[in-house]
Amino acid sequence: MAGSVFGNNFKVTTFGESHGKAIGCIIDGCPAGLHLSSEHIQKYLDRRKPGQSDFTTKRKESDKALILSGVFEGKTEGTPIAILIKNEDQHSKDYEELKDKFRPGHADFGYFSKYGIRDYRGGGRSSGRETAARVAAGAVAAKLLDEFGIEIHAYTKAIGPVEISDCDLSECAENPLYMPDHKAYEKASDYLEKCIKEKDSAGGVVECIASGVPAGLGDPVFDKLDARLAYGIMSIGAVKGFEVGDGCKAALSKGSENNDEFFSENGRVHKKTNHSGGILGGISDGSDIILRAYIKPTPSIARPQSTVTEAGDDTTIEIKGRHDPVIVPRAVVVVESMTALVLADALLENQYAKVDRIKL
């Protein structure tokens, strides 16, 4: 397998190179009867669209989602939903110079080692552009979850060393960095402008919260809900670390501090705290699911770097083209989408977890 299929029940396959004719996806397994329009999908795509601020690539893509199948009279049919997004503003020429050089920090060298061939135009399949197809699929998953009161919100938690200290989600839409803290946004902007001036790039952290998730989603062994989330989130290029709940810090904690005590209220089980981030032993515990993606700085920088050619000769490289100095803000909706895909998959799988759920 070339590994372009995600999910077991709500199964998504994406296709498309950065500079090919189009990208897109097929969703196989979306239940019939879900209200779905291309406008809904468009809202998600617009959030990751390039060219929206100084901090994103100047590439202009309208990123219009075209639903080719699976929807009839405004509702899903239970059959595969194919979504097409055309590529429009490719500047493949920008890449001519890089044609036979391996870009540091990029997949180029591994890609060439694996396939013996390489689509040098913008990274081919390794390009962040592929994530537009995931976002289209994620929008459908989010619509399905929404029917059941499950909502997912992601935002920028940090840009380089600048971290939010407040979290007002309504603020996210107000700034191009999707930071829920206006002051942090201003500091982060300054930091990024400095990076750009220095022909350098920045990384950051995306945090994502899923609320309304019932207890019982996920599995106790390999397909733990957090393992599936880790797989989905780490499959976003440039993510180098993943955590759920207290995450890495839990390693420093003691059992008496890290355990979330249970209590009963109105006939339902609650937790006093949420160190677990909503998942215990791989199964959702009814609290908000909280996860974080740690994203490395954009590897495409204009500074000269040492590298090697396909022929094996030492050389230097300066990457011009049109690159995001930071990909974190555009990754926000991708994190949300992957989270939605995992939860939709788990929700469907849960429909036959016990005999007394099953209906003829």
Q: Is the dihedral of CA 90, 95, 100, 101 positive or negative?
A: negative
Which residue has 């090919």 as its token pair? 20
- Determine which residue in the list 299, 334, 336, 339 makes contact with its own copies, applying CB under 8 A: 299
Smallest separation (angstroms) from its own copies to the CB of 18: 10
Smallest separation (angstroms) from its own copies to the CB of 75: 6
By the rule CB under 8 A, 173 interacts with its own copies: no
By the rule CB under 8 A, 47 interacts with its own copies: no
- Determine which residue in the list 94, 97, 223, 288 makes contact with its own copies, applying CB under 8 A: 223
Q: 55 or 173: whose CB is closer to its own copies?
A: 55
Smallest separation (angstroms) from its own copies to the CB of 248: 4
By the rule CB under 8 A, 9 interacts with its own copies: yes
Q: What angle do CA 46, 341, 297 make, to 5 degrees?
A: 60
Q: Which of residues 259-288 bind its own copies (CB under 8 A)?
A: 259-264, 267-269, 272, 276-277, 279-286
By the rule CB under 8 A, 248 interacts with its own copies: yes
Smallest separation (angstroms) from its own copies to the CB of 59: 18
- Determine which residue in the list 54, 58, 60, 113 makes contact with its own copies, applying CB under 8 A: 113
Which span (32-40, 55-63, 173-181, 182-190) binds its own copies, by CB under 8 A?
32-40
If we measure between CA atoms, which residue out of 66, 87, 65, 69 comes closest to residue 77? 69
Q: 107 or 173: whose CB is closer to its own copies?
A: 107
Q: 170 or 266: whose CB is closer to its own copies?
A: 266
Smallest separation (angstroms) from its own copies to the CB of 53: 19
Burial state string for 281-294 with b = 16 or more CB within 10 A and e = fewer than 16: ebbbbbbbbbbbbb
Q: Which of residues 192-211 bind its own copies (CB under 8 A)?
A: 195, 198, 200-205
195 touches 136 (CB < 8 A)? no
Q: What angle do CA 135, 141, 144 make, to 5 degrees?
A: 145
- Determine which residue in the list 211, 215, 274, 322 makes contact with its own copies, applying CB under 8 A: 215
300 known member of a binding site = yes
267 known member of a binding site = no
Q: What angle do CA 143, 146, 354 make, to 5 degrees?
A: 105
Which residue has 């920008």 as its token pair? 94
235 known member of a binding site = no
- Helices 131-146 and 38-48, axial angle in degrees (round to 10): 130
Q: Is the dihedral of CA 50, 51, 55, 57 positive or negative?
A: positive
The full DSSP string for 281-307 is TTEE-SSPEEEEEEEPPPS--SS-EEE
92 known member of a binding site = no
Q: What angle do CA 220, 225, 229 make, to 5 degrees?
A: 145
Q: Which of residues 54-83 bind its own copies (CB under 8 A)?
A: 66-70, 72, 75-82
If we measure between CA atoms, which residue out of 102, 105, 80, 91 comes closest to residue 26? 80
125 known member of a binding site = yes
By the rule CB under 8 A, 122 interacts with its own copies: no
Cα separation of 235 and 359, whole Å? Answer: 35
Structure tokens at 133: 């197809």
Detail the residues annotated as belonging to a binding site for FMN: 125-127, 281, 296-300, 322
Detail the residues annotated as belonging to a binding site for NADP(+): 48
Detail the residues annotated as belonging to a binding site: 48, 125-127, 281, 296-300, 322
